[in-house]
Amino acid sequence: MARQARAWQRMLSGRRLDLLDPTPVDIEIEDIAHGLAFVARWNGQTRGDYAYSVAEHSLLVETIFARMCPRAGAAQRLTALLHDAPEYVIGDMISPVKAAVGPGYEALDKRLSSAIHIRFGLTAETPVRLKKQIKKADKVSAWMEATEIAGFTTAEADRFFGAPDRALIDGLSIRLRPPVEVRAEFTARHEDLLRQM
Phi/psi of residue 40, nearest 5 degrees: -85, 135
For the chain, give every domain's residue range: 26-196
At 1, is the pLDDT very low, low, confident or very high (cuts 50, 70, 90)? low
For residues 60-69, give the mean pLDDT. Answer: 98
Query: What confidence score (pLDDT) does residue 101 get?
Result: 77
- Summary mean pLDDT of the chain: 94
Average pLDDT over residues 92-100: 78
pTM over 0.85: yes
Contacts of 39 (CB under 8 A, 6+ apart): 53, 54, 55, 87, 88, 91, 92
pLDDT band at 11 (very low <50, low <70, confident <90, very high): very high
Phi, psi of 3 (to 5 degrees): -80, 135
Q: Mean pLDDT across the stretch 7-32?
A: 93
pLDDT in tens, 121-135: 999 999 999 999 999
CA-to-CA dists, residue 111 to 37, 104, 166, angstroms: 21, 11, 35
Nearest alpha-carbon partner for 53 in 61, 120, 196, 99: 61
The model's pLDDT over 173-194, given as tens digits with 9 standing for 90+, comes to: 999 999 999 999 999 999 999 9
- The pLDDT value recorded for residue 33 is 98
Residues 6+ apart with CB under 8 A from 75: 121, 122, 193, 197
pLDDT band for position 96 (cuts 50, 70, 90): confident
By percentage, how much of the chain surpasses pLDDT 90?
85
Query: What pLDDT score does 59 carry?
Result: 98
- Overall fold of domain 26-196: Hypothetical protein af1432 (1.10.3210)
Question: How confident is residue 3, by pLDDT bands cut at 50, 70 and 90?
Answer: low
For residue 20, the model assigns a pLDDT of 87
Contacts of 122 (CB under 8 A, 6+ apart): 75, 78, 79, 82
pLDDT-derived band at 104, boundaries 50, 70, 90: confident
Write down the pLDDT at residue 118: 98
> Is pLDDT of 74 > 80?
yes
